[in-house]
Chains A and B, each alone.
Chain A
Amino acid sequence: MLTALEFMLAPLIACLLLISITVYFGIHVLKREIIFIDIALAQIAALGSAVTLILHELDIGSHDHVYEHDSKSLMAYIFCILAAGLFTMLKNKNIRITLEAIIGIAYAVAATGVVIILDKGAGGDVHVHDMLTGSILWVSWSQILRLAIVVLTIGGLHYIFRSKFKDLTNHYANNQSQLNHPKIWDFLFYFTFGIVVVEAVSIGGILTVFAFLIIPASISVLFTTRWSFRILIGLIIGTIATILGLYFSWTMDLSSSPLIILFMGILLGLALILKVLKNLKSSTKNKNLL
């Protein structure tokens, strides 16, 4: 039992760190209806990494004593900034296409762009497969430290300016934000979100991060519209699913990420049943009153 705890402690802490930030961003994502943005951003970052690979092969740029990982994430971040700029600019009433469609097209172009680039390079397809579910069981303490710093910095930034970001998202659909420079804040939002996605995906994998973003926010919206309650509900849901997922992954010898996702799905199912029961109850109550 003790070994299980020792073995699972790092993944557990990593998951809890991930959840603490994704639950918050998930509410933004759901409200703005830009559901697949993290998959697109992760893919664009991967395109950045692929570009680095090519630059490397063509001997462009200095490659003395550059650690591969660092140079990869540098280019990934540059692509993230570009994407943040793109998504800020193209949220525009004049063009009549929803941002989700733009995100979709950006995703498809980035994904196939990677294929075209790696076709020319060598041995890249392994990298793509690894990105899907990550390998949270093998997370190292130094990765956790790095994630913690990112989460605290960006979480802190969003906490200090919470009124601005909330205002922006609440008025996202009708473009009636009261802020002085909505575009700048919007850019800041996408940029910080992009950093979180790149860091989170490198630890948890695209699919896990996606589930952490969407499912807790979908559950909490059923019961309340207040941000603080929604974050609280999301944290509870995420923690329960993570603990159950890691536990069964240990005892039944299955992959942990899919199990965590499935437990979140089950919790969502339970929440839907609860909601329906609640609605039935209140409607019978109303009938009694009438």
Chain B
Amino acid sequence: MLDNLLFLAPPITASIILAGILSYFGNHILSRGIIFIDIAVAQIAALGTMIGLLIGFAEESFIVQALSYVFTLSIISLFALTKFRKQLIPQEAIIGIIYCLGLGLAILLAEKIPGGSNFITKTITGNILWVTWDKVWSILLLFLAIGVIHIIFGKHFIRISSSPNDYPYSPGRTRLYELLFYISFGVVIVKAVPVGGIFLVFILLIAPTAAATLFTGNWKTRFILSWIIGILGSVVGIYLSYNLNISNGPAIVCLLGITVFLLTFLKMAMKNKNANTSQNIL
């Protein structure tokens, strides 16, 4: 038992850290309706890595990683500036276009790099079971720094997230906050995806906040509820995966996803019941 615990300690810690930061960001992502942004960001990061490789640098070299960051952050900054009062193309559609152009380019580049097809999804898959304590510390420190930014500017971000079709501040100031928000988000995704894998990151973003939003619209309660659900889901998921002998990322994803569906049906059943009783009263 103790051996198991020692073996599982780094992945559990890592998943709690991931759940902590991603569930927080998820509330913003859900309110803005830009659900698939992390998949697009991860794809662009992968593309940046491939371009670095194509120029001829080694995969783990500083330059390739820097290129990947520069690439991701410039694309996401562009995206931050696409919010308009009169939105002809929905932002989610812009995300879709970025994703498929990024993936299309990656597939073309892969033909020019020896063994390149391995890199198309290289940064997209991860396995949280093999995370080391070094890695855990480094993501913890990074996410704490980003957390501080969000503690300082959090209420501005919330105001922008709650008004999807408007600038709550002057256009210039709104755009500045948007840039700060998206750049910090981009850094988190680029760092988190190689640790947990794209689907784990995706589900930790969307599922806890979706479950919380079913029951409350209040930001503070949503944050707290989604933290509880995200952390609980990760820990139980890793435990289950260990006992049932299935991969842990997929286990957490399915557990959290199915939980959301069950809660949604529960909520709808509750509403119908309420509607029935109120009809009976009339």
Interface hits, A82-117 → B, CB 8 Å: 89-90, 92, 94-98, 100-106, 108-109, 111-113, 115-116
**CB of B171 within 8 Å of the partner chain:** no
Point out residues on A near B: beta carbons under 8 Å: 30, 33, 35-36, 89-90, 92, 94-98, 100-106, 108-109, 111-113, 115-116, 119, 132-133, 207, 210-211, 214-215, 217-218, 221-222, 254-255, 257-259, 261-262, 265, 268
Q: What CA separation (Å) do A108 and B259 show in the bound complex? A: 13
**CB of B88 within 8 Å of the partner chain:** yes
Give the Cβ gap from A137 to chain B, nearest Cβ, in Å. Answer: 14
Tell me whether B253 and A108 are in contact (CB under 8 A).
yes
Tell me whether A258 and B105 are in contact (CB under 8 A).
yes
Q: A94-B267, A109-B258 are in contact. List 12 more A-B contacts (CB 8 A).
A: A30-B89, A33-B90, A92-B268, A94-B271, A95-B264, A104-B36, A111-B199, A112-B199, A214-B100, A218-B97, A258-B107, A265-B97
**CB of B33 within 8 Å of the partner chain:** yes
- Indicate whether A133 sits within 8 Å of B107 (C-beta atoms), given known contacts A35-B96, A95-B267, A104-B35: yes
Tell me whether B100 and A101 are in contact (CB under 8 A).
no
For A105, list chain B residues within 8 Å (CB): 203, 206-207, 210, 257, 260-261
Tell me whether A101 and B206 are in contact (CB under 8 A).
yes
**CB of B233 within 8 Å of the partner chain:** no
For A92, list chain B residues within 8 Å (CB): 268
Q: What CA separation (Å) do A112 and B253 show in the bound complex? A: 7
- Report, as a range, how many residues of chain B touch the other chain: 35 or more
Q: What CA separation (Å) do A112 and B246 show in the bound complex? A: 11
For B146, list chain A residues within 8 Å (CB): none
Tell me whether B257 and A108 are in contact (CB under 8 A).
yes
Tell me whether B100 and A210 are in contact (CB under 8 A).
yes
Q: What CA separation (Å) do A261 and B96 show in the bound complex? A: 12
Q: What CA separation (Å) do A109 and B33 show in the bound complex? A: 19
Point out residues on B near A: beta carbons under 8 Å: 30, 33, 35-36, 88-90, 92-97, 100-101, 103-105, 107-108, 111, 199, 202-203, 206-207, 210, 213-214, 217, 246-247, 249-251, 253-254, 257-258, 260-261, 264, 267-268, 271
Q: 17 A-B contacts, Cβ less than 8 Å apart?
A: A30-B90, A33-B93, A35-B95, A94-B267, A95-B267, A97-B264, A101-B30, A105-B206, A105-B257, A108-B199, A113-B254, A207-B100, A214-B100, A215-B97, A221-B88, A259-B104, A261-B104
Give the Cβ gap from A270 to chain B, nearest Cβ, in Å. Answer: 14
- Indicate whether A36 sits within 8 Å of B268 (C-beta atoms), given known contacts A96-B217, A97-B214, A108-B253: no
Give the Cβ gap from B269 to chain A, nearest Cβ, in Å. Answer: 10
Closest to B272 in A: A94
For B246, list chain A residues within 8 Å (CB): 116, 119
Q: What CA separation (Å) do A98 and B206 show in the bound complex? A: 11
For A94, list chain B residues within 8 Å (CB): 267-268, 271
For A262, list chain B residues within 8 Å (CB): 101, 104-105, 108
Tell me whether B253 and A218 are in contact (CB under 8 A).
no
Closest to A129 in B: B117
Give the Cβ gap from B90 to chain A, nearest Cβ, in Å. Answer: 5
Q: What CA separation (Å) do A108 and B26 show in the bound complex? A: 15
Q: What CA separation (Å) do A259 and B104 show in the bound complex? A: 7
